[in-house]
């Protein structure tokens, strides 16, 4: 679409994700453009605005944020703040009359998610959670293979998302800003991707949690979580997430007559897939290739399309709420030492 027809976004919070991924991805968008910036750091915002051609009058801070309502160049707000601020800025943004694209995890608690959904409903604005994996082509291929029973019935899914973090003063280690530790931050990819692939909701979860005693990184939020999920079709899922482990992002689907696996499965780029299909005694191994597309560009353009065509986003607020309900059950299970039914 020509520039003037594209949906104009205000990007809120100029941290790593905004600067390294989202703003550069806009160059590959066909329906989205950046028209405003919201930041607590004016100097940084001025620099970024110059780089991306955002006029100085469209730079806001967290106090002037609500004045976005008077700016017709902004139709959507992309919230890229620490998790604990998502609810407040979604609600204020909806009240300012803007559609909201909010980073994952949606918020800190299911209750906050419900408030966000309600605020957007009241304001008659759209709400989408930025689950980029649900807009990524390899994951769409795996989902289709599962749904079409390409390898027979799926029996078992395994997913791991781990990374190493080392800064205890970062907001990710502060409960009020992060909501939790590895589970809502990166374990969420395992949970959300499996729900997306199966198109089913777990009926029961069992969780385990561990944090190294005395480690300042994990005073407020957890280090590692493993959990299992039981799905109505009989699929069992086994998941793990870790903050103090070397990077590993894997996903494996085991079916009656074959398997599909990805490593890395949840990275921004360089995703890679293998599959194996048995026909009688012969096994075929393949490495399917799909053209790499920028996940953030796909996700933003989907939201822009929903705004322009008045459609409900594929990953609406309810999708984020459901993950938070399940994560709460995983924590509860870990605490009580027994499975929790959903
Ligand atoms: P950063 O810490 O790098 O950036 C967060 C930004 O939020 C800061 O730079 C700051 O921007 C602003 N901010 C406002 N208030 C605060 C505060 N009290 N403490 C810290 N920062 C504040 O985080 P990320 O960019 O890594 O993460 C932002 C969001 O994006 C999170 O919700 C995270 O879960 C999500 N995320 C999603 C990913 C994905 O793949 N979809 C990957 C990485 C993160 P300023 O200086 O401009 O005010």
- 185 CA: nearest ligand 1 atom: 34
- Report DSSP letters for 236-295, one per residue: EEEEEEESEEEEEEEEEEEETTEEEEESSSSSSS---EEEEEEETTEEEEE--------H
Q: Mind listing the pLDDT tens digit for each residue in 163-174? A: 998 888 999 999
Domains of the chain by residue range: 3-132+296-311, 137-292+324-341
Q: Mind listing the pLDDT tens digit for each residue in 113-152? A: 999 999 999 999 999 999 999 999 999 999 999 999 999 9
- Cα(341)–Cα(330) distance, rounded to whole angstroms? 10
Q: What is the pLDDT of residue 29?
A: 98
**Residues 6+ away with beta carbon under 8 Å from 91:** 115, 116, 119
| Atom 23 in ligand 1: residue holding the nearest Cα | 15
Q: Is the pLDDT of residue 279 over 90?
A: no
- Report DSSP letters for 93-104, one per residue: HHHTT-EEEEPS
Residues at CB less than 6 angstroms from ligand 1: 13-17, 39-41, 80-83, 85, 103-104, 130, 132, 171, 177, 185
Torsion of CA 140, 18, 88, 325, to 10 degrees: 30
State the distance from the centre of ligand 1 to the C-alpha of 296, rounded, in angstroms: 15
Cα separation values, 301 from 31, 76, 132, 312, Å: 5, 12, 11, 13
Q: Is the pLDDT of residue 28 over 90?
A: yes
**Of the residues 33, 98, 104, 126, which is catalytic?**
104
Ligand 1 test: best mutation among 63, 100, 103, most atoms within 8 Å of CB? Answer: 103
- Cα(185)–Cα(105) distance, rounded to whole angstroms? 7
Q: What is the pLDDT of residue 280?
A: 75
Q: Mind listing the pLDDT tens digit for each residue in 217-258? A: 999 999 999 999 999 999 999 999 999 888 889 999 999 999
State the distance from the centre of ligand 1 to the C-alpha of 124, rounded, in angstroms: 27
pLDDT exceeding 70 applies to what percent of the chain?
Answer: 100
Q: What is the pLDDT of residue 133?
A: 98
**Residues 6+ away with beta carbon under 8 Å from 280:** none
State the distance from the centre of ligand 1 to the C-alpha of 19, rounded, in angstroms: 10
Q: What is the pLDDT of residue 37?
A: 99
Q: 116, 86 in Cβ contact below 8 A?
A: yes
Q: What is the pLDDT of residue 197?
A: 98
Q: What is the pLDDT of residue 251?
A: 98
Q: What is the pLDDT of residue 340?
A: 98
What is the three-class DSSP state of 49? helix
Beta strands 7-12 and 32-38: pairing type?
parallel
What is the three-class DSSP state of 148? coil
3-state helix, strand, coil in the chain (%, to 5): 40, 25, 30
Q: Is the pLDDT of residue 269 over 90?
A: yes
Q: Mind listing the pLDDT tens digit for each residue in 54-105? A: 999 999 999 999 999 999 999 999 999 999 999 999 999 999 999 999 999 9
Q: Is the pLDDT of residue 281 over 80?
A: no
What is the three-class DSSP state of 71? coil
State the distance from the centre of ligand 1 to the C-alpha of 56, rounded, in angstroms: 22
Confidence band, pLDDT 50/70/90 cuts, at residue 156: very high
Range with the poorest average pLDDT among 87-91, 246-250, 296-300, 305-309: 246-250
- The chain-wide mean pLDDT, for the chain, equals 97
Ligand 1 test: best mutation among 42, 59, 81, most atoms within 8 Å of CB? Answer: 81
**Of the residues 189, 196, 251, 331, which is catalytic?**
189
**Residues 6+ away with beta carbon under 8 Å from 244:** 164, 165, 212, 215, 217, 218, 223, 224
The CATH number given to 137-292+324-341 is 3.30.360.10
Phi-psi region of 337 (alpha: psi -120 to 50; beta: other; left: phi over 0): left
State yes or no: is 104 an active-site residue: yes
Q: Which residues pair with 275 in a beta bridge?
A: 260, 286
State the distance from the centre of ligand 1 to the C-alpha of 13, rounded, in angstroms: 6
Q: 95, 285 in Cβ contact below 8 A?
A: no
- Report DSSP letters for 173-232, one per residue: G-HHHHSSSHIIIIIHHHHHHHHHHHT---SEEEEEEE--TT-GGGSSS-SEEEEEEE-T
Which one is the CATH code of 3-132+296-311: 3.40.190.10, 3.40.50.720, 3.40.50.11540, 3.40.710.10?
A: 3.40.50.720
φ and ψ of 246, to 5 deg: -65, 150
| Atom 19 in ligand 1: residue holding the nearest Cα | 171
State yes or no: is 138 an active-site residue: no
């Amino acid at each position: 679409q020509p520039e003037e027809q594209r949906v104009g976004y205000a990007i809120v919070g100029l941290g790593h994700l905004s600067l390294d991924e989202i703003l550069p991805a806009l160059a590959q968008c066909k329906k989205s453009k950046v028209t405003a910036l919201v930041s607590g750091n004016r100097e940084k915002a001025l620099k970024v605005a110059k780089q991306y051609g955002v006029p100085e009058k469209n730079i806001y801070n967290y106090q002037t944020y609500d004045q976005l309502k008077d700016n017709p160049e902004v139709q959507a707000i992309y919230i890229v703040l620490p998790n604990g601020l998502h609810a407040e800025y979604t609600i204020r943004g909806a009240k300012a009359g803007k559609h909201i694209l909010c980073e994952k995890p949606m918020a800190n608690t299911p209750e906050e998610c419900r408030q966000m959904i309600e605020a957007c409903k009241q304001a008659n604005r759209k709400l989408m959670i930025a689950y980029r994996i649900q807009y990524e082509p390899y994951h769409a291929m795996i989902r289709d293979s599962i749904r079409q029973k390409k390898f027979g019935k799926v029996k078992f899914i395994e997913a791991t998302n781990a990374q190493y973090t080392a800064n205890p003063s970062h907001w990710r280690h502060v409960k009020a800003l992060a909501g939790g530790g590895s589970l809502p931050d990166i374990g969420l990819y395992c949970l959300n991707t499996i729900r997306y692939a199966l198109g089913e909701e777990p009926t029961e979860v069992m969780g385990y949690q561990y944090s190294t005693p005395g480690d300042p990184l994990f005073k407020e939020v957890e280090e590692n979580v493993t959990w299992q999920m039981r799905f109505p079709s009989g699929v069992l899922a086994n998941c793990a997430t870790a903050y103090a482990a070397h990077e590993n992002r894997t996903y494996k689907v085991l079916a009656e007559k074959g398997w599909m696996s990805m490593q890395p499965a949840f990275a921004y780029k360089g995703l890679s897939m293998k599959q194996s299909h048995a026909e009688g005694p012969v096994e075929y191994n393949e490495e399917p290739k799909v053209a790499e597309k920028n996940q953030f560009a796909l996700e933003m353009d989907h939201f822009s399309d929903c705004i322009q065509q008045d459609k409900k986003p594929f990953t609406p607020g309810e999708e984020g709420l459901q993950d938070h309900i399940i994560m709460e059950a995983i924590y509860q299970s870990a605490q009580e030492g027994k499975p929790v039914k959903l």
